[in-house]
Structure 1
C-alpha cells in the first residue's frame, strides 16, 4: 500500500507526521516492527521527497526494496488491522481552516 503526503507536506510551522497504530480488542497501539519505526515525518532522516514535493509512504509488513525503504512505515506482520494518524505540529493554513485533505491510501498491485 502507498500513502502520499501532498506536495509541500501537511501545512505546519514545526513539522508533520503520519503514525501507524495496530488495532486490537483493547484499543490502538504502536505496532512493534523490526526497525522500531512508528511514524514517518518531515524530520525522518533520509526521507525521499518526490520532484513535486510530495512524499510517498510505503505501508507493508516486509521491507521494500531500494529507495522505498527510506519511506517505509512497517505494518503489523501478523496482518492485524491498523490505522493511520496524520498530525501537524503548529498547524497553519488549510489545517486550521479545516479544508486540508490527506490523499487516500492507495492499494498497489
Structure 2
C-alpha cells in the first residue's frame, strides 16, 4: 500500500514502481484518487494488480463499521478477492466504487 501525500505520489511511484514483484497487489490511501490511479497506471508494470482504497472517516476513528471505499482499477479476480479479504480485517463497511465515483463523492462531502 502506498501511504504517500497526494502531491508526491507521481514522483514516488515513478521512482519505485518498477521494482514491484510480478503479480503484486498495489493500493493507496490518498483522498483524491485520480492522480494516484494515473501514477499507478503510468509507472507500474502491467502485471501488477491495482486495488486501491480510502477510509472515509478521520484518522483517529475506529475502523469498525466505518465506510471504506474499495476501488478495483486493474486486477485479476483472484488478486481482487485477496485484497478484499485482507481489507475485511478492518471490519469496515466496504463501498465498491470507481476512482471517478470516489472523487465525486469526496468532493461533495
Common fold: TM-score over 0.5: no
TM-score relative to the length of structure 1: 0.27
Higher strand share: 1
- Greater helix share, 1 or 2? 2
| TM-score, length-scaled by structure 2 | 0.27
